[in-house]
């Protein structure tokens, strides 16, 4: 998307606003499927939690992807957006048995990552095929907040518990139709990822009725200039070869599944915010925008370095700014960042704002959550209205004193 278009959207829909470029989602989807084009049965399940706007889900369904969900509400949104139940996988962690049973009733593929829940579910519903989430304990790269492969992680069933896992499956007579992992780490060293895959294959070999192996996600996208990213093409080449060998030995062409969130939508997104005030202190020039971590928390929560462009003055002389918000706590988006000269009223565009940005927005400081716009076929479509005052009061029950 070009900067003039973004500026026009900020004018038409106000700020702050999230903008998503549908074409970029499509490009990413095609890049991933092209890298694995030699795999006979490939399934890309979009991780809904990255961005669940129904119009975005509909677009991704239209691309041909399936859906990866972590809550029954995400399943319901997916069904509403038109995904077939059999194209939805449900990978919860720490939810109640009752919720899992309700999702199973909808015909969605269940993925279980807890031996206690597996035993209870298998005892009650031995006919429902289940996928197993394995923790291969491979850890590399990424942020410790989102790394889920370590030995004390709450995610997945440890490979060291495979004997117990097999015992439960045998005793309940349930069918395991898939093996899954999602380490949550960035895939930067392809060979480390292949190592984790080998561990997964070792587990998979021990089950006779598999239909798919799901390698989760962890695709790293660039966040700033010259940033490292997962080499999808190299991964495609190496994993395809290993997967095909596995299938040959297993005696069946299984489906190879992935569940990317960030990879599909991160770079499609822009967060546009207006500069309310410039404030110069003895050492710093602050640019204060009409937003805060109530709308975009990744820089504060994960230390995410999201590029910021002054789309109102793209040719201006570069200066150093600290970009901060209007929340009554420290809410620094960027420290001492080189940005084209900012004047009050300018619109700043934050890149990589498609994944886990709007989704983590809140009403803190009693501010409204922003509008969302989808740029599709060279046209801007409003896909979520900005909140209004009634949204703040809707569920409150007033009592008299």
Ligand X SMILES: *Cc1c(COP(=O)(O)O)cnc(C)c1O
Give buried/exposed letters for 347-384 (b at 16+ CB in 10 A, else e): bbbbbbbbbbbbeebeeeeebbbbbbbbbbeeebeebb
- Backbone Cα Rg of the chain: 23
For residue 132, what are the contacts with CB-CB under 8 A and spacing of at least 6? 111, 112, 113, 118, 157, 165, 176, 178, 179, 180, 203
Q: Binding string, 350-379, against ligand X, x = CB under 6 A? A: -----x------------------------
- Phi, psi angles (nearest 5°) of residue 41: -120, 105
What is d(CA 122, CA 170) in angstroms, rounded to the nearest whole number?
10
User: For ligand X, which is the closer residue by CB, 13 or 263?
Assistant: 263
134 touching ligand X, by CB under 6 A: no
* Catalytic residue (choose from 131, 247, 328, 357): 328
Q: Among 275, 277, 279, which Cα is nearest to 309's?
A: 275
Q: Binding string, 171-200, against ligand X, x = CB under 6 A? A: -----------x------------------
What's the closest the beta carbon of residue 30 comes to ligand X, in angstroms? 17
What is d(CA 17, CA 268) in angstroms, rounded to the nearest whole number?
14
Interacting residues with ligand X between 311 and 330 (CB under 6 A)? none
Residue from the set 29, 59, 263, 350 that interacts with ligand X by CB under 6 A = 263
User: For ligand X, which is the closer residue by CB, 263 or 293?
Assistant: 263
Q: Binding string, 28-57, against ligand X, x = CB under 6 A? A: -------------------x-xx-------
User: For ligand X, which is the closer residue by CB, 46 or 375?
Assistant: 46
User: For ligand X, which is the closer residue by CB, 217 or 312?
Assistant: 217
219 touching ligand X, by CB under 6 A: yes
What is d(CA 332, CA 315) in angstroms, rounded to the nearest whole number?
25
Exposed, middle or buried, 184 (CB in 10 Å: 0-12/13-18/19+)? buried
What's the closest the beta carbon of residue 126 comes to ligand X, in angstroms? 25
Interacting residues with ligand X between 79 and 108 (CB under 6 A)? 91
What is d(CA 79, CA 82) in angstroms, rounded to the nearest whole number?
5
Query: How many residues in the shown chain lie near ligand X by CB under 6 A?
Result: 17
DSSP count for the chain of H helices, then E strands:
12, 18
Q: Is 351 helix (H, G, I), strand (E, B) or coil?
A: coil
260 touching ligand X, by CB under 6 A: yes
70 touching ligand X, by CB under 6 A: yes
User: For ligand X, which is the closer residue by CB, 273 or 355?
Assistant: 355
What's the closest the beta carbon of residue 182 comes to ligand X, in angstroms? 4
What is d(CA 25, CA 172) in angstroms, rounded to the nearest whole number?
42
Whether 357 is catalytic: no
Residue from the set 16, 149, 178, 261 that interacts with ligand X by CB under 6 A = 261
Question: Which span sits near ligand X by CB under 6 A: 1-9, 71-79, 167-175, 255-263?
Answer: 255-263
What is d(CA 67, CA 83) in angstroms, rounded to the nearest whole number?
7
User: For ligand X, which is the closer residue by CB, 144 or 395?
Assistant: 144
Active site residues: 328
Binding site for ligand X (CB under 6 A): 47, 49-50, 68, 70, 91, 182, 216-219, 259-263, 355
């Amino acid at each position: 998307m070009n900067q003039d278009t973004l500026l026009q959207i900020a004018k038409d829909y106000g700020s702050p606003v999230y903008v998503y470029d549908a074409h970029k989602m499509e490009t990413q989807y095609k890049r991933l499927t092209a890298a694995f084009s030699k795999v006979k049965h490939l399934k890309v399940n979009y991780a809904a939690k990255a961005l669940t706007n129904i119009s975005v889900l509909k677009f991704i369904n239209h691309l041909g992807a399936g859906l990866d969900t972590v809550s029954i509400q995400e399943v319901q949104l997916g069904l509403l957006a038109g995904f077939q139940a059999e194209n939805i996988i449900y990978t919860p962690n720490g939810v109640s048995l009752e919720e899992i049973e309700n999702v199973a009733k909808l015909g969605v593929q269940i993925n279980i990552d807890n031996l206690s829940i597996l035993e209870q579910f298998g005892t009650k519903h031995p006919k429902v095929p289940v996928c197993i989430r394995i923790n291969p304990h491979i850890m590399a790269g990424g942020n410790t907040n989102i790394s889920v492969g370590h030995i004390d992680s709450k995610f997945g069933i440890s490979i060291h518990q495979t004997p117990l896992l097999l015992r439960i499956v045998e005793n309940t007579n349930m069918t395991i139709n898939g093996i899954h992992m999602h380490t949550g780490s960035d895939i930067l060293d392809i060979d480390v990822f292949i190592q984790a895959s080998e561990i997964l294959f070792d587990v998979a070999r021990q089950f006779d009725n598999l239909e798919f192996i799901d390698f989760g996600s962890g695709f790293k996208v660039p966040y700033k200039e010259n940033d490292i990213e997962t080499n999808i093409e190299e991964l495609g080449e190496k994993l395809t070869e290993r997967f095909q060998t596995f299938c040959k030995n297993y005696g069946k062409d299984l489906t190879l599944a992935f569940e990317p969130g960030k990879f599909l939508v991160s770079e499609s997104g822009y967060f546009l915010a207006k500069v309310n005030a410039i404030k110069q202190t003895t050492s710093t020039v602050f640019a204060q925008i009409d937003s805060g971590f109530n709308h975009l928390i990744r820089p504060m929560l994960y230390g995410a370095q999201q590029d910021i462009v002054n789309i109102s003055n793209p040719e201006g002389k570069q200066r150093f700014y600290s970009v901060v918000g209007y929340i009554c706590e420290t809410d620094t988006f960027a420290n001492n960042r080189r940005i084209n000269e900012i004047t009050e009223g300018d619109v700043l565009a934050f890149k990589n704002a498609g994944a886990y940005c709007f989704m983590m927005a809140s009403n803190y400081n009693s501010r409204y959550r922003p509008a969302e716009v989808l740029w599709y076929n060279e046209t801007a479509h409003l896909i979520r209205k900005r909140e209004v005052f009634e949204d703040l009061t809707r569920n409150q029950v007033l009592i008299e004193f």
